[in-house]
Chain A
Amino acid sequence: RKEVEQDPGPFNVPEGATVAFNCTYSNSASQSFFWYRQDCRKEPKLLMSVYSSGNEDGRFTAQLNRASQYISLLIRDSKLSDSATYLCVVNIFITGNQFYFGTGTSLTVIP
């Protein structure tokens, strides 16, 4: 069983739409959570950390549900520049200090 599972998509949405991605993790000992954005043939870049209380950064909102072991990312008012792959990442300290990445969810925002 994979540590992190994501729906690979693709998600094709029109500009201005709201889109949500979910990610589930299998290890309840997971302690830190992140969303990264990866453009085609580029390195992953941190989009936002995910806190237990939820957090918002402009058009992006991240939520963590520890009971159900899932993380979500909501993008409001989608822009063409949001087109990318979004990677869900969990960090588990108990098994060492490994970061586990999902396979990523592909988003294309259409004009």
Chain B
Amino acid sequence: DTGVSQDPRHKITKRGQNVTFRCDPISEHNRLYWYRQTLGQGPEFLTYFQNEAQLEKSRLLSDRFSAERPKGSFSTLEIQRTEQGDSAMYLCASSTPGVEQYFGPGTRLTVT
């Protein structure tokens, strides 16, 4: 399968714990995006990479959130000291410049 992959697909964690998600984009795509989606809402932009450079971060991305794409291939999104309000679907998407995005299946986070 050459699409966008995300791991894990589901994560249940206790409040205060740290979690890390991984995204593997389509191999020839140099742009990678992270989104958060809650029930009844569209995806909300969190951050965006072009190759290994993190070019934009949303105001939604508090200092508890950090994302990396060290070699311009896969990316990780870490949430520190999780809160119940962090419960959501975290979606990764990739694209080439000026072209539509392709999404991974998402990581569903539940913070108890």
Contacts and interface: CB of A to CB of B under 8 A. Distances in A.
Nearest to B92: A43
Chain A interface category by residue count: 20 to 34
**In this complex, which of B45, B48, B58 has the most chain A Cβ atoms within 10 angstroms of its Cβ?**
B45
A43 B106 contact: yes
Q: Is the interface of A mostly helix, strand, loop or mixed?
A: strand
Given A46-B101, A97-B55, A101-B35, 4 more contacts: A43-B106, A44-B91, A99-B101, A104-B42
Interface string A13-47: 00000000000000000001010000000111110
Output the residue of A8, A32, A97 with the most chain B CB within 10 A: A97
Contacts of B55: 96-97
B45 A99 contact: yes
A43 B104 CA distance: 7
A104 B40 CA distance: 8
A46 B94 CA distance: 12
Given A43-B91, A97-B31, A103 B41 contact: yes
B56 A87 contact: no
Given A8-B40, A103-B41, A98 B48 contact: yes
B42 A101 contact: yes
Most chain B Cβ neighbours within 10 Å, of A32, A43, A104: A43
Interface string B28-69: 000101010000111111001010000110100000000000
A88 to B, nearest CB: 8
